[in-house]
Structure 1
Amino acid sequence: MRMIRRTFVATAVAATAALTAGTAFAQGKEVKIGYALAVNSHYGAAANAWAEGVEKGTNGAYKFKQFPASALGGERELIEGLQLGTVEAAIVSTGALSNFVPDVGVVDIPFLFRDTQHARAVMDGAFGQELLAKFQKRGLIALAWGEQGFRHLSNNKHAVNGVPDLKGLKIRVTENPVHITAFRTLGASPTPMSWPEVIGALQQGTIDGQENPISVLVSAKLWQVQKHLTLTSHVYAPMALIVSPSFWGSLNAAQKTAFTEAAKKGALASRAFVDNVEKKGVEEAKANGMKVVEKVDQTAFRTALEPAYKEYAKKFGQKTLDSITAVK
């Protein structure tokens, strides 16, 4: 009788342990991911696809917990969190990344990319992949290049039809030396500022305008705080899908593959989102009262930027710039 009872207890304990283990596995290990904008943005599209791919690829062993809309801080704080290991994953723009991985700044040079097809070919090709590899020495593991689209200019003062109209405008730029140099050269007053501060600064008149892709303008409903939009397409804006080195080191080879392949799906999801929003985003801005200048003389902008281009060539190397423009 005693033997039967012991066997029953042992079986019950084993069953309970198995059930507990199964429940823990079903829940999956939590992966905190942060990004700047709302869930209904290109950031959110990338995060959702990445999360879905990871959950499937790891058979539920890992599940993302999303912190959108700068809930974990601005992009600088997110990157520092990745380096420290307090954040497992993030999607971050190159605007902030160039302060941590200086070579990334080259993609922020104005009018470097001819169009979206050219930009994607560069980022998907050898140059883009080599750039991702440089993150590791800076305490970051970058897995894929997502996309925000081309940046455009908005402001509350007046329509910007050409370079002279930029004179004296206080334009919020990312905390990025390449962007700062460009707008200073164009005669504006560039004001570096973290994204979470931008809406308030526009409302208070601390800054006159900002520059961002249509995907950001629509997600943030910038027409609520901006009157004029000029489609300058002055800078192509990628974003990187990144994980913390300490978290990466805890994964086995199969899990690393799952995270990487899922990140690539996230990157494609961001591009699809951008393609869709750019078709209708300008019309949405107009419908919400923004006055839109749809064409500018980009040659005039490039000519005005010649002094800046000389600085960029010294900083990044003319061969690097030529290798990018040579991509078909």
Structure 2
Amino acid sequence: MFLNKKFISYTLSSSLILFALSACGSENSDSESASGENNNNNESEFTMEVAAGTMSPEFSLAKTWRYFEEELESQTNNRINVELYINGELGGDRELTEAVQLGEIDAVAPSTGAITGINEKFGIYDYPFLFENREQAYEKLDGEPGQQLLNSLEEDGMKGLGYFENGFRNLTNNQRPVKTLEDLQGLSIRTMENDIHIDAWNTLGANPTPMSFEELYTALQQGTIDGQENPAGLIRDNNLYEVQDYLTVSRHVYSPYVILANLNFYNSLPDELQTTLDEVTRDAIEYNRSLTVEEEEDALNTLEEEGMEVTELAEGEVERFKDALEPVYEEYQDTIGSDIVSMFRE
């Protein structure tokens, strides 16, 4: 009995020692694991879903969003994980803008036409010949006028972060070179489904035909319409030179993309992440503008090489177009807001 008791006592003592050592090891392991989790930069606290309509992977906006994704994840040490959906799989600009407003996705950068149904002030960017050049556009967009419009989006449940660039819109057609206002008469031109654009082309003597971008190539190919108007990069990337003969570098509308985030998502971020998001957005804007300038120059060269006859709209003709459009400017002044119109046109 004595030996058995001694053996049992020894066994229990050994077990207790082993348990204590195991517990210490477990505590150290748990402590190390917890410490590792606190320092693990690969675990994200926030996911930011960003979407865009259908576009070429080489288009400047697609490149810009990939740059934004990489920089934001890097600058936040992956506290924000960016998920990109930029092939149109979640919808077009209008649907995506509404989705951001509802909080179904977190960010989008639509053309202004997708926003005017929600906030009519953004119709100012549809005014033809509002800006003579990029420098003038940047001054207004980055200054008080552009910022005031961005701030107004908070009433609509969105945070305006800034403006990417789509570029200046130019006219193409199949009938004749458009060098003067008279050359435009009677041409059927595809436009966006935008009242200001439609009224402007009507006023200039063309026959505007609103249709979706997805229908455009076929309509031009079949001769349903004579022409269309878009930035040079889009004309090139969508092979419109295959179904259009004449390009007029009219630069009649400067098209920005408005960078939108869902307001609740933005406000859910800690102050330091909001600051980083703002800084990365500003960097992405500079990157985007540089890309777009290069893209426009390359695209115009490519379109000419592909056989399009390229005409620059002379300064005197630009003034004639602007004079003819004065009734359109006046018609939409009350809708947009006379104070907004004055800020941008002064």
Q: Same fold (TM over 0.5)?
A: yes
After superposition, give the CA deviation of every residue in 1:30-57 in whole Å (9 maximum; x if it has no partner): 4221223223222123313322331233
Whole-Å separation in 2 of the counterparts to 1:199 and 1:26: 45
Matched, 1:184 2:202: yes
Task: Mark the CA change 1:201 to 1:12 in structure 2 (over 3 Å): closer, same or farther.
Answer: farther
What letter matches 1:322 in structure 2? Answer: S
Are residues 1:2 and 2:12 paired? no
Q: Which residue of 2 aligns with 1:324?
A: 344
Amino acid at match of 1:35: A
Matched letter for residue 198 of structure 1:
L
1:309 paired with 2:329, answer yes
The secondary structure found in structure 1 opposite 2:164 is strand
CA distance in 2, matches of 1:88, 1:194: 25
Q: RMSD over aligned Cα, in angstroms?
A: 2.5
Q: Does 1:25 align with 2:42?
A: yes
Bigger-Rg structure (1/2): 2
1:144 to 162, 167, 173: 162
Name the aligned partner's letter for residue 5 of structure 1. S
Greater shift in the superposed pair: 190-199 or 141-150: 190-199
- Match of 1:125? 143
Instruction: Provide the secondary structure at the position in 1 that maps to 2:145.
Output: helix
Amino acid at match of 1:290: M
* Structure 2 match to 1:34: 51
Letter in 1 for 2:84: Q
User: 1:230 and 1:299 mapped to 2: Cα distance?
Assistant: 16
Give 1:309 shift: 2.3
CA distance in 1 between counterparts of 2:165 and 2:49 reads 21
Matched, 1:271 2:255: no
Aligned residue pair count: 326
The secondary structure found in structure 2 opposite 1:135 is helix
Partner of 2:237: 219
Greater mean alpha carbon deviation, residues 21-30 or residues 57-66: 21-30
* Segment of structure 1 superposing worse, 7-16 or 275-284: 7-16
Percent identity over the alignment is 33
Q: Per-residue CA shift, 1:152-189, capped at 9, x if unaligned?
A: 11123333233333334332222322212211212223
Alignment-derived partner of residue 52 in structure 1: 70
**Distance in 2, Cα, partners of 1:276 & 1:299:** 27
1:221-267 CA-to-partner distances (Å, cap 9, x unmatched) read: 33233322111111111111111223223211111111111111111
Quote the offset at 1:196 in angstroms.
3.6
Cα offsets for 1:56-87 (capped at 9, x unmatched): 33111113222224232110011011012221
The 3 A distance-change label for structure 1 pair 227 and 201 is same
Q: TM-score, normalised by structure 2?
A: 0.84
* Displacement of 1:17: 6.3
Tell whether the 8 Å contact from 2:121 to 2:337 is kept in structure 1 after alignment: no
Match of 2:12 in 1: none
CA contact (8 A) 1:45 1:269 kept: no
**Contact between 1:74 and 1:196, CA under 8 Å: does it hold in 2?**
no
**Aligned residue number for residue 83 of structure 2:** 65
Is contact 1:49-1:262 (8 Å) kept? no
Q: Quote the Cα distance in structure 2 between the aligned partners of 1:205 and 1:62.
A: 48
Could you list the runs of 4 or more consecutive aligned residues of structure 1 that deviate by over 6 angstroms after TM superposition? 20-24
Output the amino acid matched with 2:241: W
Mean alpha-carbon deviation: is it higher for 243-252 or for 7-16?
7-16
Inter-partner Cα distance in structure 1 for 2:263 and 2:248 = 40
The one of 249, 261, 264 aligned to 2:279: 261
Structure 1 unaligned spans of 5+: none
2:201 is paired with a residue of what secondary structure? helix
Q: Assess if the C-alpha contact under 8 Å between 1:104 and 1:131 holds in 2.
A: yes
The answer to whether the 8 Å contact 2:179/2:312 transfers is no
- Per the TM alignment, residue 139 of structure 1 is displaced from its structure 2 partner at its CA by 2.1
Partner residue in 1 for 2:320? 300
SS in 2 for 1:137: helix
What secondary structure sits across from 2:146 in the alignment? Answer: helix
Which residue does 1:195 correspond to in 2?
213
After superposition, where does 1:225-244 map in structure 2 within 5 Å? 225-244=243-262
Q: C-alpha displacement at 1:131, in angstroms?
A: 0.8
Give distance in 2, aligned partners of 1:117 and 1:93.
20
